Amino acid sequence: MGQLIACAVPEGILVASDSRAELFDVTGEERFINLERLIPIAPHALIASAGAEEGHDLCQQFASFAKDEGLADIDALIEAAPAFFVSRYDEVMRKICEVLPTEPLHSMYLLLAGYSQKTPNNPNRLFIMWNRAKPPKIEANHVTPVFTMPRRMGLEFKLNQLVTRKAPLQEVVALARQGMEKLAAKDEYIGPPYHYLTVTAAGVSKP
């Protein structure tokens, strides 16, 4: 499944992920692989995935598409992403069907995070896309300043406290690091290496 954490404060956005993903062979046997789920796609934007390993493939494809089309503005990326996801989704599911049954649903979550220099009073953008078993197959929406997938209500509560008091981004980074390590200690489906990226007026960088 993997773990995704995102939090936006006035200074910018933190996005964090682990690297562990489960993969099933033709016999249905499970094994773990490592994925680098955070992918910078523009100077002020990144895309990240949680859920099925195929979501990571879609992120890589979208990053290539954005580069080819010259898309760098986060709002332009958000506008283009749902249609791109829909156009590639059936192909992804056909490949999954060659190995595994389509039920239960192989859930995929794609998160776009970016900083808009066009709106300095409200620069942060967090936008999530996910698949569904019933039409519409793909849904998308802007999300609140705190997002975790799978949902981690305790961690979200603590991050929301930082949002409320407009804490420095480094405090968000520290709490996310602590939270990720605690989650990994309890859940075999979360594992290192852990990745952290921030998106600010200065661009995408490692904290």
- Structural domain count of the chain: 1
Nearest Cα to Cα of residue 75 among 133, 134, 123? 123
Least confident span in 77-86, 94-103, 118-127, 147-156: 94-103
Is residue 206, in this structure, part of any structural domain at all?
A: no
Q: What is the pLDDT of residue 45?
A: 98
What pLDDT score was predicted for residue 101?
A: 55
CB-CB contact of 4 with 48 (8 Å): yes
26 confidence band (pLDDT: 50, 70, 90): low
pLDDT at 8 over 70: yes
pTM value is 0.90
∠ CA 22-28-29, nearest 5°, is: 60
> Which residue matches tokens 């970016």?
114
The candidate with the shortest Cα–Cα distance to 141, out of 87, 182, 192, 85, is 85
Quick one: average pLDDT of 41-65? 92
Question: In this structure, what CATH number is given to the domain that contains residue 148?
Answer: 3.60.20.10
Distance CA 128, CA 112 (A): 6
Q: Residue 185 pLDDT > 80, yes or no?
A: yes
Contact 110, 47 (CB under 8 A): yes
Among 83, 5, 80, CA closest to 37:
5
When mean pLDDT is compared over 6-15, 30-39, 81-90, 126-135, the highest value belongs to 6-15
Q: How high is the pLDDT of residue 88?
A: 87
Looking at the DSSP assignment, which residues form a beta bridge with residue 13? 8, 199
Residue 46, pLDDT score: 98
Instruction: At 36, list the tokens.
Output: 């680098």
Helix (H, G, I), strand (E, B) or coil at 41: strand
Q: What is the mean pLDDT of the chain?
A: 90
Q: What pLDDT, on the 0 to 100 scale, is given for residue 28?
A: 62
* Tens of pLDDT, residues 66-102: 999 999 999 999 999 999 998 888 787 676 655 555 5
pLDDT at 149 over 80: yes
pLDDT of the residue at 192: 94
In a domain, 207, yes or no: no
- Is residue 35, in this structure, part of any structural domain at all? yes
Task: For the chain, give the number of residues.
Answer: 207
pLDDT (0 to 100) of residue 127: 98
Closest CA to 99 of 198, 157, 26: 26
**Domain encompassing residue 183:** 4-200
- Residues 126 and 201: their CA atoms lie apart, in Å, by 15
> What integer is the mean pLDDT of 60-64?
95
**pLDDT band (50, 70, 90) for residue 136:** confident
